[in-house]
Structure 1
Amino acid sequence: MSRAAASASASASASASGDADSDGDAALLDADDARHLIIRTGFAPRASEVSPYVGLTRAQAVARLIGTARNEALTPLPAWTAEVPPSRAQRRAWTPDERREAQRQRGARYDELRAWWMREMLDTPAPLTERMTLFWHNHFASGQDKVYEPQLMAAQNVLLRRDALGSFATLLHAVAKNPAMLLYLDGASNRKGRPNENFAREVMELFTLGEGQYTQRDVAEAARAYTGWSLDPDTLGFVWRPDLHDDGEKTVLGRSGAFGGDQVLDILLEQPQTARYVAAKLWREFVSDTPDDAQLAVVAERFRASGYDNKAALGALLMTPAFWDERNRGVLVSSPVEFIAGTIRRFDLAYGDTLPLARRSAALGENLFNPPNVKGWPGGAAWINSSSLLSRKQFVEQLFRATQAGPSHARGTMTKIAAAMQQDAQDTQNAPRRDASQGGLHFDLDAWLSHFGLTADATPGLSAQLQMQHALLPLAPVDAIAAGSSAGSYLQALLTDPVYQLK
């Protein structure tokens, strides 16, 4: 029996029995299994990131992975993120030119913030942390279009990372009072007698319960409970305003009392549906677009029983037979950030300015700190269309056009792709022209191919071709590759194959 067939058989048996201690869990990970775990929970791995997981059991591998989690970034935030925003008096005193300059500075700082996060995703020793931070950024979506001070979005990013693998309950309460969220969903304007229902609706529909799990009356009553959560107009920090709070009795999801906002959040957390809804979003992020009801129920129950420990939920999810099932490999589409960061990490490219990379991600549809709306990026197949797929292929093609590989050019320069990326980003963002060398990438092609005993000009045999396929693609390539291709050409063909977009 083939490895794929054996895995599918074991997964089907385990799924039917619901037994977490199946033969599949006792099996030792091979290199394909290790890459699957790492690319699904982080970014495409370097060879050095795969080997420590080979030979571990699934439980050992998952424990090792979760043990890498951090709660703060490796890369220092820009110094300006610690600045207090301009006060009301300062803003009122601005001249028209000063207002335009302040707007320009905000845009430049948001760009700097995007470049900072891209660098963190490239440098981090804990890719799982950044993937989970990105997941929560999309779950608790808020962004630049309504949060005009980038310091606030930077602070929210710190918050999301702090609790990315901590407590969902703690994170929910903190995000609800986060200044960026209070601005984005108009919570700061919610007051007694004039309740604003935006946050009350979205916290039920998008953050906890999901559609169809509440009534309009629940939304209206909950909105009254959140009144009084406000912002200091000068510092834009959270403040409690009891004079603006409606302290009357409310009825939310069948519970009645003179609830405040935190009490309503606790009522939402008490609902079994909240654990199931969040677990289902994690499933679609890390396993497949269609959750298995029986296995999802196990994950949701462990999540709820743990007191909403995100590590417990993720650990249970990664131990499901479905996660390891060969049929669920290569069924998810890498987001633009995953595609770019994964390519750079996988080939161990040296890089300089990360702003062109962040702008390239934005051009492909994922503009960090600026999701399309409160629902976030839809993801999945929505990442791919004729235009974005062509742009992704062009990214790879430009990389190879700029690479001078071979024995005499083992450290080929990547300045051409940097220049092309820079120009594309400028056209997209109408940004001022920058020196292309600031975004320079450097790819030692022969050094990467040496892992397979090859140089760029060598002709790979069948064994080397299969090794390269397994290292780069979750499935066999769909496009034919010309017989007799050099290793460099064969590598380029693999990276421009549609399957390279999958994970």
Structure 2
Amino acid sequence: MASRAAVSALVASALPLRASAGEPQPAHHGKPAAPGEDELLDPDDARHLLLRTGFAPAASDVMPYVGLTRGEAVDRVLDTKRGVALTPLPAWTAEALPTRAERAALTPDQRRDADRLRGQHYDELRAWWLREMLVTPSPLTERMTLFWHNHFTSGQDKVSEPQLMANQNALLRSEALGNFGAMLHALAKDPAMLLYLDGASNRKGKPNENFAREVMELFTMGEGQYTQRDVTEAARAYTGWGVDPDTQHYVWRSEQHDGGEKTVLGKSGTFDGDEVLDILLQAPQTARFVSARLWREFVSPTPDEAQIEPVAEQFRASGYDIRAGMRALLLTPAFWDEDNRGVLVSSPVEFVVGTVRRFNVSYGDTMPFARTAASLGENLFYPPNVKGWPGGTAWINSSTLLARKQFVEQLFRATEAARPPKRGAMTKAAAAMPPPRNPPMAQGGMHFDLDGWLSRFGVSADATPGLSAQLQMQHAVLPLAPVDAIAAGSNASAYLEALLMDPVYQLK
């Protein structure tokens, strides 16, 4: 672990780390971790659970979890799961796609217009998903959907029709906390996946190995767990799976399927694609690999093999019930260990959505939020490559850290736009004018009721918070004590802004 000085120095290189245990910390950061699901949650434990399994929680979200046991709290979070989105999709997602003949009949100008419209629809789809994350009663569902979007990677660069990605997003959400095996089988035949990994062009005599390789390396077992022969043989099994050029739906073409004998992971038979997927699911390494991916997402960057193994065993024994696997993961001692708090970097989407949810920010259009996340490196439905976003410290560099701070500045401009200036700072003419009916709002129509948020600490924006209020504010917004000094005598508004500008605010 790094010292405060080291963390502060790393701000320049945009790589925040947690503070040293040897530095002065608020009392809640020194509480020793204790194993067992019967341990009771204090407010910091509750915030930790909700921060890791969702987006940054508001104070009203935290208190119902205080006093529950770890087991009760984890079950309550898991019980919030949803299978469908709360927010209606854009109307165009229900429209029929142009047929092959209709596409061929387009003039060059019409084709350019169609391309622009598809790009616009992708932007609208991103804004729709951001809104769903902001309003969902189940942040865990959206976090898991986001996780699977990065695990089963598909994207705009090879999937031209945004309707297909909207359908895949719905599929990921339906099984986000459902069954991994069912999701794997469904994703393998999903039109967006078939197009993204060239499965639609995989046919007898001319097998395309892209999907066969990635399903082993990225979706199930991981690198080094299979041979090139396994890939070649599996690719033959997936032949015949395609996408109808008119409807863009999955289609089975038996005449293009290789029905000969294959050998995959030491097992031989006239396998089809579903049977090969079952072979991958039977491999114990699949449960280990997926559990390790979940560990890096929810616990720490470095998996503890001793604690992952029982999680993987429970995951596999449950028939790949994702809820059962997540429950085992969230009840590991490592999840609750103080040393594993503040060691993960919030993704751009988590940072934006978490900030808006935590401070109960009102807003209008969510398109600016989607664009902010994209500018920070997470352009939804457009991952950088087949491996998805690497995450972790890769989210932070000098450019993205500056952009995150600029988003915080936007938040406080939204506050200033909505709050009347001090009377003494106004001219006589301005003082005589009635207040505007609709005060100006920041980008995206943001409005942050700063005084309302601070009122729970017994201070107003212009008042100087005492030590107790300062510590309460720290606990509410940071997973660890701040590493940068805050100017003495700062008023509550400046103090809160300094906390959000601290590198620790990027951590969870």
TM-score when normalising by structure 1: 0.91
Residue 346 of structure 2 corresponds to residue 334 of structure 1: yes
Q: Share of identical aligned residues, percent? A: 73
* Aligned positions of 1:44-63 closer than 5 A: 44-63=56-75
Cα RMSD (Å) of the superposition?
1.7
1:132 maps to which residue? 144
Which residue of structure 2 aligns with residue 452 of structure 1?
A: 457
Structure 2 CA distance for aligned equivalents of residues 414 and 375 of structure 1: 45
Distance in 2 (CA, whole Å) between partners of 1:189 and 1:360 is 36
Counterpart in the other structure of 1:200? 212
Residue 312 (structure 2) pairs with residue 287 (structure 1): no
Q: Where does residue 7 of structure 1 map in the other structure?
A: 32
Amino acid at match of 1:460: P
2:203 aligns to what?
A: 191
Deviations 1:272-321 (CA, angstroms, capped at 9, x unpaired)? 00000000000000000111111100100000000000000100000000
Paired position in structure 1 for 2:8 = none
What are the ranges of 5 or more consecutive residues in structure 1 without an aligned counterpart? 15-21, 419-438
Alignment of 1:220-235 (within 5 A): 220-235=232-247
Indicate the residue corresponding to 1:369 in structure 2. 381
Cα pair 1:452 1:464 within 8 Å, conserved: yes
Residue equivalent to 2:501: 496
1:12-61 Cα shifts (integer Å, max 9, x gaps): xx5xxxxxxx3xx3221111111100010100011110011011000000
User: Cα offset for 1:97?
Assistant: 1.1
- On the 8 A contact 1:399/1:414 being kept in 2, the answer is no
Counterpart of 2:50 in structure 1 is: 38
Deviation (angstroms), 1:400: 1.7
Query: Alignment partner for residue 473 of structure 1, among 472, 475, 478?
Result: 478
For residues 504 and 56 of structure 2, the distance between their equivalents in structure 1, rounded to whole angstroms, comes to: 14
CA distance in 1, matches of 2:298, 2:149: 16
How far does the alpha carbon of each residue in 1:336-381 deviate from its partner, in whole angstroms, 9 at most, with x for none?
0000000000000111010111011000000000000110000000
Q: Could you say if the C-alpha distance between residues 495 and 415 of structure 1 is closer, same or farther in structure 2, counting changes exceeding 3 Å?
A: farther
Task: Report SS of the residue matched to 1:362.
Answer: helix
Whether the 8 Å CA contact 1:405–1:446 is kept in 2: the answer is no
Moved more, 471-480 or 25-34: 25-34
Structure possessing the higher relative contact order (Cα contacts under 8 Å, 6 or more residues apart) = 2
The residue type equivalent to 2:402 in the other structure is L
Distance 1:462 1:32 in 2: 18
Correspondent of 2:360 among 348, 351, 365: 348
Write the distance in 2 (CA, Å) between the matches of 1:3 and 1:449.
21
Gaps spanning 5+ residues in structure 2: where?
1-26, 423-434
State the secondary structure of the residue aligned to 2:342. coil
Cα distance in 2 between the residues matched to 1:416 and 1:471? 25
Distance of 1:215 and 1:250 partners within structure 2: 14
User: Which residue identity is paired with 1:308?
Assistant: Y
Inter-partner Cα distance in structure 2 for 1:179 and 1:405: 46
In structure 1, the residue corresponding to 2:88 is in which secondary structure? coil
Whole-Å separation in 2 of the counterparts to 1:465 and 1:408: 25
Is residue 475 of structure 2 the alignment partner of residue 463 of structure 1? no
Task: Provide the rounded CA distance (Å) in 1 between the counterparts of 2:222 and 2:419.
Answer: 57
How far off its partner does 1:401 sit? 3.3
Tell me the distance in 2 between the aligned counterparts of 1:88 and 1:407.
56
Partner SS, residue 242 of structure 2: strand
Q: What is the alpha-carbon distance in structure 1 between the residues aligned to residue 451 and residue 261 of structure 2?
A: 70
Aligned to 1:435: none
Q: Which residue of the partner structure matches residue 316 of structure 1?
A: 328
Pick one of 337, 349, 352 that aligns with 1:325. 337
Mapping 1:89-104, distance limit 5 Å: 89-104=101-116
The 8 Å contact of residues 414 and 442 in structure 1, kept in 2 or not, is answered as no
For 2:186 and 2:488, the matched residues in 1 are separated by 57
Alignment of 1:66-465 (within 5 A): 66-404=78-416, 408=420, 417-418=442-443, 439-465=444-470
How many residues get paired? 470
Partner of 2:16: none
Q: List per-residue Cα deviations over 1:377-429 (Å, max 9, x = no partner).
A: 000000000110011111112322342289857999995640xxxxxxxxxxx
Residue by residue over 1:182-218, the C-alpha shift from the partner in whole angstroms, topping out at 9 and shown as x without a partner, is 0000000000000000000000000000000000000
